[in-house]
Structure 1
């Protein structure tokens, strides 16, 4: 049996791949199994200086993702001797990854996209793992998808179950058991699950704590820090747009259309009485510095370099918003958040190029292993790395 701790992109991918290759698989997830429409209730965000975003439920944070499917760190991985190109291509085909189609480009997104193109920005439509025929365009992807139009790790978990995998929810793993220097199972409360293959995919804020218990090295935290900037454009209706329908790369990160739920209250506090449909916004997401740490307390701040990248991106976003018709007096910015905690068990330090730790049989396959801040959605990279690792187990 292989024991998989966590059921997000990395854990679910490993569970599916290992069950397909004949392993008995046990998935242990600390959160509950929930429907897509209730996934937002499972957010377990952490205030660490900036607000770090995650969810505890079956399927993990994929249940509240925007459905974005950008390749990231592909060239950087080659520096470690890891070529993910064939894995990316296979995953894109399997998940039906395609640029967001024209009929799912909402009015606010379209207005910003057309203005950015007119100004000569390098605009690309966001590749998505969203079934366009099932999308209800409610603008709530990050709260959970009520029609399951957006892929989530639940589909891989269902595949693993069909191959005989067992899934346990609502149970927290307390300890990874090591005997004679090798992985031997896990302890959850008074229960012991024994096996010599343990896959650690608990997320970049939990995985390093397991490694620290075993005196294994961990690494500083990235989080793809982002800021959302918005203002008033009466009747634009961006609150119903499929989020992040296009992206603009810039030196330091990417800029995307984004309706942030805090905008309305921020505008009301600033003296503007507006409805949700009267607000338009953009997100600036940066490749941030690794100044974060995970221990008894989780900390993630903003370095001078981070601030410069955020200001640079926000300058572009503000220009695009005002050019699209926003009254500059109404511009507000939401508090800083980190959407992709990662990097706390990096390849080359905490794990080798097979994603195995120095304890034989203990692997890490979540965002912890990313060697650099992606600065863009990492789900595709996590799936690709997990499949890469699964192919090497038992070689």
Structure 2
């Protein structure tokens, strides 16, 4: 990969702005993508769900994540001269190690029907984007597929079916473009044994892909050394570029309940809770976030053989505006999740609760200019 990625996942942007969220650079209101570009961001990551609506047409929330919303954001991204990674979830809503729920329309499909659906969804989406002149610069086949995808049909340790469905996604990409980089993405970016086990199994069965993607969150995954050590080992073993596809560090533990305007029983509150702070190597302050980002970028850039290819900061601009939630009630029904709703992410962003750019963005700008 020619350019070190300083990336951001801004999948919630359209929803936040529509609900009144505003972003400021040194006191001046600007478009989010313009601010990010000014700070050296060169890549955007966007998640795509299959059908994130209830049968009555009500959005599942969390930024939308449907194709129409994604296209609207992509147009802004491309107009700003930035590249983007399209992240196929193969679900109607969140797909991660704790849930990989089949889309509603695919619920009764057998294995071969599912494989065909993965291929068709991937190919059709990319053909549409190509026709519109907004083709992605990288594609991610599945999201945090450590424990598989399209449960229960391809749940770890069923590596045969995991590879079967991932391969169909890869083929769907290759049916439209033979050269675009394809990323496969796992969580627990600090866990060498888990990553090695997964990629060894996949490479015995899988199609060619170009980029290893990892998630790393200090509040859950501990010290930065674990991530960097793992990246070095993965670089030696597989010889592929490695991107931290998701990362975030808290900048405060101040509550944002007043911004959400929800009753206590209606809001989930921050995912980065006080009980998790003991895992943080750097404090949950603006200064701590600056220190973390500096060491994080330096560590990736120093990975063996130049294979540390960059990162995507996850949802740096998910402001706690009224009405923007990680899930709606309809989404909770789809996931069979007890809830509650609300914003879980605002204290891990790169903008404060009022939308002001935080000092950690200066670290990115300095690293980009080097």
TM-score bracket for the superposition, by shorter chain length: under 0.3
The higher-RCO structure (CA 8 Å, 6+ apart) is 1
More strand per residue: 1 or 2? 1
More helix per residue: 1 or 2? 2
Of structures 1 and 2, the larger Rg is shown by 1
TM-score, normalisation: structure 1: 0.26
TM-score, normalisation: structure 2: 0.28
